[in-house]
Amino acid sequence: MSTETRIESFEEFWPFYVGEHRNPLCRGLHYAGTSIAIGTVVAAVVTLNPVWLLATPIVGYGPAWVAHFFIEGNRPASFKYPLWSFVADLKMLKLAAAGKMGDEVARLYGSTFPAPDAPLLATG
């Protein structure tokens, strides 16, 4: 039995989510995946072809999971909190489109840069 505390609200989840996405390259891969996934949903609606929806989770989560495993070096939040992760992906994309996601990282973590132990952090 795990002693880990379960997050109970999106307001509590958001800071955790942002902390798991401090590396700008990780966030960029999320933006790409989320945008392409939205595109597959739009394509399914426009073409009336639901086959597009089969690609949605692959193109949406594929880049994000690569980013977590190889860039952030952490486990995707979608494994434990799939719905909140989906909502947070959309919120993060909206903030990025407005040019404010870096500000949100700095607001919550005091810096726009990745955590010091991030695997692909280039230090001089």
pLDDT in tens, 47-105: 999 999 999 999 999 999 999 999 999 999 999 999 999 999 999 999 999 999 999 99
- Supply the pTM of this predicted model: 0.84
**How high is the mean pLDDT of the chain?**
89
Q: 12-44 burial, b for 16+ CB within 10 Å, e for fewer?
A: ebbeebbebbbbbebbebbbbbbebbeebeeeb
- Does residue 110 or residue 16 have the better pLDDT? 16
Cα separation, 33 vs 18, in Å, equals: 17
